[in-house]
Structure 1
């Protein structure tokens, strides 16, 4: 229970602090007896805590007793924390100014502190004595010998166990995928069911399914939780859409317009995970812009626990998917994965029978199975039986989710006291919050949950935090881990029900400010607060003993008051990151003696406040994004316990304080800048920081002189925890280089052998020191980057780095030869060449003088998978043997080099060749020899004369662009010998920017029997195209900006396109007419900016959902519109200026014209005086967009007949003055949104700001959402 956590932690800290007080401080000799009495009382009480924890569930008096004990334990911790602070202050004062100064200047202060501490300890002793005496009356038993619960063996893992294999959801996945792909309507799919069943997991595996990814143009995943706010959701969606410019305003209307623009015509999939709202008005405010903008077939998936939520989001009955529980055998599958994974029990056969019985207790819930499996890990048979016979299985619960919570408590109760503390503290995070592993460990450390090592060589607090986090993850308290570049956990989440458990344990001690209605009384016992709304800080008035003040919403423009969080004197954690208006106090006003974690990132401070250097307990200091902060104080040396200092690389640091070298516990220092003066002294400040880990950037090494390093050699060689080292000689803010011997400087910066990544930038030497390429010096190196070393003439052999997986060499302008030299050696070495047997990725860029990339005998790169060469125009010789190469990108590379590299490839999946100006030919078989090749892109190769393939049998994607097609821009005809495809993968052919291309014959296309998409763009001289008879798989056909294309493929050829889904003709001004055959699968048709088209005759198109015929200013006839019975989305106009009415008729015997039509956009032109009367028969419309009817003065009365209308938008009708009558407008009973933009006359008449209401205002005042701009 939570009470046990606090008391156990308090006793541990009190014991440590008493030891510190007697052994080091010497302040409390007069109260030694009282301190011993205090410790004795705590020991006596602690012996009964296990019995108290078990009995408190049923006995209220024991709960009260535990609560009082908890409060006293907090107070004891606070007192001894102050004692430790004074000891540190004394030690630092003596160190800085001498013992005599301390004795002469602080006698009165020391006497006052001694008296203060003595008084506090006596008062605490009285309270503890009372609590100790009452434990006898409560009949608590002494269980000291077994007070800690058995936790079993923790799994021996270096990273987190991957449970991505989903059990028992294959059919569910297929059902959801089928609903997404096969239903060609825009709809909402609601997946609902009990918490812990795996709704999010099911949505994820469907979202990432290959067929789903190909089916949708755009996919967005949003985690909603219980905060359903339309503006926030629009913002999140826009942030996930690629290449989207952030709107200048964050108002709902601006965001909605931006979202409509991004989604227009795109088939999108939006997942709204974990939706709770049952308020219909919130959904109606959110959903229409999405449904009205996307292409037909767009989908929204909503995951929720409640059937009522599924009804709220307007999911059709057939789109409501109730997720059922797993079978018992599937639950057993999950349990055994957890219980018998490496490091656990191996006696599977004896435990299987018990385990299968336990699996029946899971009630089909995967989360329960995971938790029970984690609980059984490494347990004995007797413990398996004890779990099977646990009392919980006999209890009844009003709600199924209460049952799951109780199962989670079983696992929680098995944790050690420290793990319980670590887990329950996570209640400060809201649901669905991505928790940073690094951050959480720092917070645990600041709260004292991670014990400091007693001796050198023991695990650090951070190591212990990693172990605890791994343990909690393995027991399913944490999930959804995301990894960093070192393949270690970076972020993770907690399941909603696990979060509920944490918050139920902490009760009033942890509060998330900004969630719900919070009163001041709620904070009287609060110790930890996380902030979602700065406006509610005043609610913390009674939180006198607050220990955590944590900001959840960074980059807030809101301000804290003058005192803000600084009035809470017992804080261990203070996070003000992003409070730009925060008033940081001066030194005299801040007395946060207990502070261990301080985050002032993005606060705009210009210098480090003096009080920060007096936070002697401080372990973590974060100053990210403080752009005005350019140097740190020398007084930083006072922070002897500082372990993590976070500063940004892009800030223009003038220098680092030399005293930073005295922070011997420092582990995190992302950047170090050498000073301009006393350069050697500045760099040698790093020498004693041997606990540094993670990534270290050292800038301005151009300032360092060889002589200054004489006493500071081996500056980095003892830093065994350093993972990544980046050495920068120049920097954006330093001018010029130094005059020292740069080779000796780099030699002195040899890192420890544990280094994994190395980057050297701007090094001025002619060659590199031996350690850079020595496998014994860098045996663990996996990645290296050499950049902007402009004087370097030789790149050493790196084959000796046996673990090297990726290499980047950039901007090395003097290098002419790379690889094996003419005498068989590599670089300047006389040793025989070594193959790069681990290398998987190689990049060469901007090496203007590189002529030869040589190789010795045998295969030098046997495992290389990705090769990118850019801006090496003189490369004429290169290796040809890359047996496993999958991705090849060549840009501005010498032609002979291209030929050599591509001559023997057999494993390619992706090939790009661009801007190779002297490339005349490609070797035969470059495509056909690579059976897995799916994408080929050749662009801007003006001399390429031939690219012939006898068997283009496996390329499923072929693109040619920018002044060349498969041969080149001078070629008038494209032809590849006919052959059969053997691949059944998706085929995409794009022909783009081939300005001299005049025709595409069927001989070229006939071999592409599995082609699914043909896209021809910016081919200005293309006159015609012939389609192959074999195009039965073609789904997308697009012609864009083909100025001389006079006709589409013949009707007979088009008739064969039985699978065609989308047809787009855009910007083809020479096409005069369109006469299509019946295309049974066509769902989207766009004809836009085709100025010469005079008529369009639409056949029966039974599947057409979306039709766009716009900006065809010569169009005078449109036939067949009335027969499009499946049409849902229609966009029309503007057409010929000679017309005074729209050129279509809707005559039909069917009284309901276009029965499926939901969305209509209609664009006018100057000759039109009114809306087309044909529209009044479209009674199924839900949204109507009227644009640019400049001569329109009033809307017709029949508009009131469109009784299904929900959304009406009027734009650019500058002379419009009158809406339909009030009676007609009030007949639109479903109308919820009205937008009027750029209609100045109507805007004035709808206004409420002039002399009384405008005459049109009464007609629209009842509409819920109005915008008149």
Structure 2
């Protein structure tokens, strides 16, 4: 709530609105609204603390609704002003037409003034009621101070699971039993939520002995939907939504005669017949195959287990204290403070040995950097409330949520729109938070994405997220949310957020955020849908994914939408009427596999920050002159994209550009020269179109100033038509590329594409030169270096010895290098033997799997 009030106040106080005060003579209205919101904001903390009172709770709901409406109106105000400035630059005919249109200055001013007075009346009523409710002023949290209290994070990884050594040994003894008589045995792990069932299963699953013992290892998150087809598809990795008979056959072929380990995580199904149907599919496995089932239900353990179930208990007091100390204390001095330790022991006792509760409460104390008196208050006052709750574990999680600053509460609540077990991409989550205005502006030079990263890390460090994965550069890329945390998020959001599961969605007039698997038509035609700010549609894989044109056209009713996700739909076309959705900040059309182009109207979206088009495999062209507000343009997997749009050089705010495509009409990479804010990944394709201008490219150095790029892929076109028919592969001779006329051109091009020395991963594909440029040796931060289809390359430069950070070197279909650097007798093997991982293969691993 505070974050929303702050957003409204910031807009009312900004320079842009002062300008509009004059244009529409609204100075008094704006000043009055600002004063009223400021007065109400001052009592918000007190109101939220008294939210158990029904009247106060209703007051907060009414306030939230009017603040959303005020924010929508002010945003509309801003967009209209920006649109008028753009139109002012057009010719006089357009200006005249614009003046006599329905949205001319006079008409819009009257309409705006009427709406502001309407909202002001509602705010006045709310302000009067606050006195009757006896709400008092309280100072708000300072988000900057909150972040700066500690700069480290107390996150404990899954590899640091504490106090489960005995349980791990027990499960391993079952798994590694050479005397097993059954083809497939099932080991249930049973316990209440938060005990660490999944963490224990992960610990065993990733054990080196276990990894070596089983031919196949598979992991499926089941949750409360026991869909045999879905589980089978996940086991075999089927992405084509095949029929059940086909999936069954794929499953049998995959496991037949092989000793496998399968983890079925978080299983709730208590229907024995359903379980037996799945079990029958698994019986084709080799002797000694094992299934681990994690569940909260003893009934599930009874119907599945062939081994006695392992009933997980809480940690003992010593292990509980050890875990608490790891997350609550940052330095040895604190860990040796006897008074703090004694208080900590009393706090830990109330956690009943539940690891999730211990981590959550320890992380809370760590994040707030509290002194001894604060710890005592926390123990005697805050924790005393927990004893009054039947579900003490959930009460502990709720306590941690209550202590979040309001801006983090909004970010956490947003996660309720996604299903349990969902894999969150950190980058996407931050983009969504930014689009919704949840990220408060920084007082320094940090980007909104940097502040968003701090928000994410704060939630992670307090155990609101878990199960992280990292990318090749060691950065966190994905995470999950514990089921109990997901339950907490859904409990906290009320009717403001709706995650529709069935054919219909219960959308009220206060619903602002909606996600759906298949309630598309209802969502778009609902009379309440015009207030939506987020609409996420991610259909299930077995749903009909074709989006009818008539459905798309009804988007015009969602006029206040900030976030639109239509992911994995077979969208034939996006209508030009999307320009009416002028508040849009975020559009995700990823995996729209039949979409060929975008409407020109998308360039009219003055606020658009993120446009995701990844894996739109048929997309051929982008509209010209995309808006300067764009910060993230994701195009990876757009294999048919012919060229880049004109005006790319004007996108000075662009930070993400995953793909840059060249063609014979656009052979200039100079447009990249001004985009020095690019970061993350950049792939430049079809570099062979630069050969005619190789002499100029050699000295351009368009990538040299891009210090934030982490991953760079430089690709020339390589003819792989001969790979299409895999059946005749054995009859094809080994491909030998002779030195050709392109050698010198490619060497000059690569010389001109020198990246910044901070680059961490470099991929060079289809390069026809014989030698690499000297700048390779300057990449002091390089972790991974890959060469694909570089059959003219005769050797690696001596400067490779300067790459002290290099951890991985890959050579795929590089015929001359293959023999020279072969392990262990290759002529130059010793020059690269120090690198931790060297991979030399006749083709990329993704292709090699078809021939093995």
Matched residue of 2:251: which SS?
helix
**Contact 1:24–1:87 (Cα < 8 Å) also in 2:** no
**Contact 1:842–1:868 (Cα < 8 Å) also in 2:** no
Do the aligned partners of residues 51 and 685 (structure 1) sit closer, same or farther apart at CA in structure 2, a change above 3 Å counting? same
Do the aligned partners of residues 115 and 346 (structure 1) sit closer, same or farther apart at CA in structure 2, a change above 3 Å counting? farther
Query: What is residue 726 of structure 2 aligned with on the other side?
Result: none
Given candidates 677, 693, 699, the residue that maps to 2:665 is: 677
**Contact 1:151–1:415 (Cα < 8 Å) also in 2:** no
Matched residue of 1:302: which SS?
strand
Given candidates 510, 518, 529, the residue that maps to 1:533 is: 518
TM-score, normalised with respect to structure 1: 0.59
**Contact 2:578–2:602 (Cα < 8 Å) also in 1:** no
Q: CA deviation at 1:267?
A: 3.5
**Contact 1:525–1:543 (Cα < 8 Å) also in 2:** no
Do the aligned partners of residues 259 and 737 (structure 1) sit closer, same or farther apart at CA in structure 2, a change above 3 Å counting? same
Following the alignment from structure 2 to structure 1, what is the Cα–Cα distance between the partners of residues 107 and 658?
A: 42
**Contact 1:368–1:408 (Cα < 8 Å) also in 2:** yes
Given candidates 678, 681, 685, the residue that maps to 1:699 is: 685
Aligned: 1:237 with 2:230: no
Do the aligned partners of residues 269 and 466 (structure 1) sit closer, same or farther apart at CA in structure 2, a change above 3 Å counting? same
Query: What is residue 181 of structure 2 aligned with on the other side?
Result: 184
Q: CA deviation at 1:54?
A: 1.0
Aligned: 1:305 with 2:305: no
Q: CA deviation at 1:127?
A: 0.9
Following the alignment from structure 1 to structure 2, what is the Cα–Cα distance between the partners of residues 229 and 651?
A: 33
Between 1 and 2, higher relative CO (CA 8 Å, sep ≥ 6) is seen in 2
Instruction: State the Cα deviation string for residues 284-330 of structure 1 (Å, max 9, x = none).
Output: 33323324x3344433322111223323x3436x6122111111221
Following the alignment from structure 1 to structure 2, what is the Cα–Cα distance between the partners of residues 180 and 43?
A: 63
Gapped regions of structure 2 (runs ≥ 5):
722-739, 843-851
Aligned: 1:545 with 2:546: no
Aligned: 1:439 with 2:428: yes
Do the aligned partners of residues 620 and 708 (structure 1) sit closer, same or farther apart at CA in structure 2, a change above 3 Å counting? farther
**Contact 1:534–1:560 (Cα < 8 Å) also in 2:** no
Do the aligned partners of residues 87 and 158 (structure 1) sit closer, same or farther apart at CA in structure 2, a change above 3 Å counting? farther
Aligned: 1:451 with 2:440: yes
Query: What is residue 264 of structure 2 aligned with on the other side?
Result: 272
Query: What is residue 641 of structure 1 aligned with on the other side?
Result: 629
Do the aligned partners of residues 843 and 13 (structure 1) sit closer, same or farther apart at CA in structure 2, a change above 3 Å counting? same
Instruction: State the Cα deviation string for residues 772-824 of structure 1 (Å, max 9, x = none).
Output: 33x3xx33233334555666677532246343415xxxxxxxxxxxxxxxxxx
Between 443-452 and 345-354, the greater mean CA deviation after superposition: 345-354
Q: CA deviation at 1:219?
A: 2.9
Query: What is residue 73 of structure 2 aligned with on the other side?
Result: 79
Query: What is residue 335 of structure 1 aligned with on the other side?
Result: 324
Instruction: State the Cα deviation string for residues 897-953 of structure 1 (Å, max 9, x = none).
Output: xxxxxxxxxxxxxxxxxxxxxxxxxxxxxxxxxxxxxxxxxxxxxxxxxxxxxxxxx
Given candidates 609, 631, 643, the residue that maps to 1:619 is: 609
Gapped regions of structure 1 (runs ≥ 5):
1-5, 240-245, 807-839, 854-866, 893-961, 963-1269
Instruction: State the Cα deviation string for residues 122-167 of structure 1 (Å, max 9, x = none).
Output: 1111111111111111111111366879847555359965352111
Do the aligned partners of residues 712 and 135 (structure 1) sit closer, same or farther apart at CA in structure 2, a change above 3 Å counting? farther
Q: CA deviation at 1:525?
A: 2.5
Instruction: State the Cα deviation string for residues 193-230 of structure 1 (Å, max 9, x = none).
Output: 11101111122222333444444443322110111111
**Contact 1:598–1:622 (Cα < 8 Å) also in 2:** yes
Aligned: 1:846 with 2:817: no
Do the aligned partners of residues 130 and 254 (structure 1) sit closer, same or farther apart at CA in structure 2, a change above 3 Å counting? same
**Contact 2:615–2:637 (Cα < 8 Å) also in 1:** no
Do the aligned partners of residues 633 and 665 (structure 1) sit closer, same or farther apart at CA in structure 2, a change above 3 Å counting? same
Matched residue of 1:658: which SS?
coil
Aligned: 1:687 with 2:673: yes
Aligned: 1:122 with 2:117: yes
Following the alignment from structure 2 to structure 1, what is the Cα–Cα distance between the partners of residues 607 and 421?
A: 32
Backbone CA RMSD of aligned residues:
3.5
Q: CA deviation at 1:587?
A: 1.6
Query: What is residue 395 of structure 2 aligned with on the other side?
Result: 406
**Contact 1:597–1:620 (Cα < 8 Å) also in 2:** yes
Q: CA deviation at 1:738?
A: 8.1
Query: What is residue 151 of structure 2 aligned with on the other side?
Result: 156
Instruction: State the Cα deviation string for residues 81-131 of structure 1 (Å, max 9, x = none).
Output: 112212332343445x36x66754533423322222222111111111111
Following the alignment from structure 2 to structure 1, what is the Cα–Cα distance between the partners of residues 540 and 88?
A: 40
Do the aligned partners of residues 94 and 745 (structure 1) sit closer, same or farther apart at CA in structure 2, a change above 3 Å counting? farther
Matched residue of 1:356: which SS?
helix
Q: CA deviation at 1:372?
A: 1.3
**Contact 1:197–1:365 (Cα < 8 Å) also in 2:** yes
Greater share of residues in helix: 2
Following the alignment from structure 2 to structure 1, what is the Cα–Cα distance between the partners of residues 62 and 260?
A: 57
Q: CA deviation at 1:737?
A: 8.5
TM-score, normalised with respect to structure 2: 0.86
Query: What is residue 1132 of structure 1 aligned with on the other side?
Result: none
Following the alignment from structure 1 to structure 2, what is the Cα–Cα distance between the partners of residues 891 and 767?
A: 20
Structure ID, larger Rg: 1
Matched residue of 1:389: which SS?
helix
Following the alignment from structure 2 to structure 1, what is the Cα–Cα distance between the partners of residues 628 and 458?
A: 31
Aligned: 1:383 with 2:374: yes
Do the aligned partners of residues 79 and 345 (structure 1) sit closer, same or farther apart at CA in structure 2, a change above 3 Å counting? farther
Matched residue of 1:390: which SS?
helix
Query: What is residue 647 of structure 2 aligned with on the other side?
Result: 659
Aligned: 1:726 with 2:730: no
Do the aligned partners of residues 751 and 484 (structure 1) sit closer, same or farther apart at CA in structure 2, a change above 3 Å counting? same
Matched residue of 2:611: which SS?
strand
Structure-to-structure mapping, 1:1160-1171, within 5 angstroms: none
Following the alignment from structure 1 to structure 2, what is the Cα–Cα distance between the partners of residues 748 and 880?
A: 30
Instruction: State the Cα deviation string for residues 1202-1226 of structure 1 (Å, max 9, x = none).
Output: xxxxxxxxxxxxxxxxxxxxxxxxx
Given candidates 276, 281, 285, the residue that maps to 1:284 is: 276
**Contact 1:224–1:275 (Cα < 8 Å) also in 2:** yes
Following the alignment from structure 1 to structure 2, what is the Cα–Cα distance between the partners of residues 651 and 844?
A: 21
Matched residue of 1:164: which SS?
helix
Do the aligned partners of residues 83 and 232 (structure 1) sit closer, same or farther apart at CA in structure 2, a change above 3 Å counting? same
Q: CA deviation at 1:376?
A: 1.4
**Contact 2:609–2:630 (Cα < 8 Å) also in 1:** yes
Matched residue of 1:232: which SS?
helix
Following the alignment from structure 1 to structure 2, what is the Cα–Cα distance between the partners of residues 231 and 766?
A: 51
Matched residue of 1:274: which SS?
strand
Query: What is residue 252 of structure 2 aligned with on the other side?
Result: 260
Matched residue of 1:613: which SS?
helix
Query: What is residue 1200 of structure 1 aligned with on the other side?
Result: none
**Contact 2:357–2:393 (Cα < 8 Å) also in 1:** yes
Matched residue of 1:480: which SS?
strand
Q: CA deviation at 1:713?
A: 3.2
Following the alignment from structure 2 to structure 1, what is the Cα–Cα distance between the partners of residues 242 and 203?
A: 33
Aligned: 1:11 with 2:3: no
Aligned: 1:429 with 2:418: yes
Following the alignment from structure 1 to structure 2, what is the Cα–Cα distance between the partners of residues 263 and 747?
A: 49
**Contact 1:644–1:667 (Cα < 8 Å) also in 2:** yes
